[in-house]
Chains A and B, each alone.
Chain A
Amino acid sequence: MSKVAIFCEGETDIQFLKSLIEHMGFRKNDVISYIMSSKSYFFDENHRKYKDVKLETDSDTIRKILFVLDADDINKDAVYGGYLNTKDKLDNVITNLGIKNISQVYVMRDPITQNGNLESLILSTIDQQLRSCIECFLDCSQLESKENHKAILNRIYHIVYPNEQYNFKHPHFDELKTKLTQLFVESE
């Protein structure tokens, strides 16, 4: 049976995606994950993970691929930052790799600002007041690193919602859910 592949930036991303996949009733064990470790590697057409997935797609063992990466901020990176830049650059890579017809891209971001990452997406789904508090805390923390912010946000989220998964019913998750549905359903 063929499987599906998900390319993502880090371990936190794949854990989040797998919890959503499970929530949607799909089998997370059918996912072959490629963890790129850095957004910049997504744009390296010669990356060994691309060679690996090409071996699989050429043999029909992987039939669909979803690329999930952060939009980041266009003000901090005019070339690769922001939703449109990220999507355009990655679409080029996918075309050059010859896997366009089996691939989809989901750029993680705050759907309102069109910038950000997984954490921005999650923040966009929670109560406005709490969100402001967290954003304020992150600003005050003066920890500039994106990884620091991710870790802090995840910790805060699970302190605030200790018994709950993410609010997957929120419409901000709909685009991602549609991509995941297409990934699994069209692969069957």
Chain B
Amino acid sequence: MTEQTGTHFLTDIEIKQFKCFADFKASGFKRVNLIGGKNNVGKTAFMEACYINVRSKDIAHMVNAIISVKIQREFLNLATGSALQEKDLLFFLDYYKNYKAKSNLNFQSFSISLKELKKEYIFCVGNESININSNEISILNFIINEKNDNINFLGQFKLQDVKLIELFKNIQKNDKENELNSFIREFDNSIEIFKVIDKPQCKTNGEYRDITEFGDGLKHYISIICALYACENGYLFIDEIDNGIYYDHLDRLWEIILTLSKKTNCQIFATTHSKEMLESFARVAKKLDEQDISYTLLVKNKNQEIKSITRDYEMILDSIADERELRGW
């Protein structure tokens, strides 16, 4: 199904009371957005806040978004259906405590109220709100097993096979196996073909081997390409995009991301703290004249509050021309 290009994109967001963000604003997002900043400045938390915001079209989706963020972070496996218990879900919600975000797309808030030993989980999405007393209503009632999900978060931890298999289904549905294999051969020309035979496998020298034998970089690379197809008219969040990817492959990865995200009308948010990744991003965008990009630098001001500096295509190229340090340190 086609959608008018970019109408669903997140362009600005205000985040309050979520993890390290007390009162944070960022704006100027485009189709492909790279997020940078020093360690522990809040890059991943920012991505999580955006993920929850774009995913939470109603209360049930918001509950799922908050829980799945924690699952991504903790490298847990929801998709196997390995029986998440009510107590696990409540633990996840308790962990986040608060969330309040307003964007060009939506407004949501989540908080926990403790009154007279009664604990309530309060969710609000737009004009809809609900107070869930965990003693009266099971949070499990809000869990959705969504098929054909076009909002994905690739965390910095090793992707579960089950998730890669799920993403690969979109390649198969779109008959893009040949295209994927061609991309994979550019990454490693010893690989003849990628397939799912019970598990993700790559064929080299006529023999299929488990993808785990090839290192994290390849799996990450394949996941990104599969996710770009999966997230048609949606959103893809990639934490630590350069994880395990050799610098020689960075330009090609950006070419694929910039080209496919345009084709699939997918908005990308990716984090990095690598100077090479940022330079590659700017270089490839310039080469392709791809102006629908931004680079957001997260910094702490003198009061230790997190602030954002978002540069568009022109500003990115201008900074490079003047040899200003875009990365911020």
Chain A proximity mask over B305-329: 1 for CB below 8 Å, otherwise 0: 0011111001100110111110010
A158 CA to B267 CA, complexed, in Å: 53
Q: Which of B301, B310, B315, B324 contacts A48 (CB 8 A)?
A: B315
A35 and B322 in contact, given A61-B299, A61-B328 (Cβ under 8 angstroms): yes
Q: Decide if B118 is an interface residue (CB 8 Å cutoff).
A: no
**Contact status A56-B309, CB under 8 Å:** yes
**Contact status B301-A59, CB under 8 Å:** yes
Q: Decide if B302 is an interface residue (CB 8 Å cutoff).
A: yes
A56 CA to B61 CA, complexed, in Å: 36
**Contact status A33-B299, CB under 8 Å:** no
**Contact status B309-A59, CB under 8 Å:** yes
CB distance from B307 to the nearest CB of A (A): 4
A52 and B315 in contact, given A60-B301, A60-B302 (Cβ under 8 angstroms): yes
**Contact status B309-A51, CB under 8 Å:** no
Chain A proximity mask over B289-309: 1 for CB below 8 Å, otherwise 0: 000000000010110000111
CB distance from B298 to the nearest CB of A (A): 9
CB distance from A175 to the nearest CB of B (A): 25
Count B-side interface residues using an 8 Å CB cutoff: 18
CB distance from B126 to the nearest CB of A (A): 30
Chain B proximity mask over A24-35: 1 for CB below 8 Å, otherwise 0: 000000001111
A59 CA to B322 CA, complexed, in Å: 20
Q: Which of B310, B324, B325 contacts A34 (CB 8 A)?
A: B324
A22 CA to B307 CA, complexed, in Å: 31
A residues in contact with B319, CB < 8 Å? 52
Q: Decide if A49 is an interface residue (CB 8 Å cutoff).
A: yes
- From A2, which residue of chain B is reached at the shortest CB distance? B302
- From A1, which residue of chain B is reached at the shortest CB distance? B329
A9 CA to B285 CA, complexed, in Å: 27
A residues in contact with B325, CB < 8 Å? 32
- From A56, which residue of chain B is reached at the shortest CB distance? B309
- From A36, which residue of chain B is reached at the shortest CB distance? B322
**Contact status B309-A48, CB under 8 Å:** no
Q: A60-B299, A61-B299, A61-B309 are in contact. List 10 more A-B contacts (CB 8 A).
A: A32-B325, A33-B324, A34-B324, A48-B314, A48-B318, A49-B322, A52-B315, A52-B318, A52-B319, A59-B308
Q: Which residues of A contact B (CB under 8 A)?
A: 2, 32-35, 48-49, 51-52, 55-56, 58-61
Q: Which residues of B contact A (CB under 8 A)?
A: 299, 301-302, 307-311, 314-315, 318-319, 321-325, 328
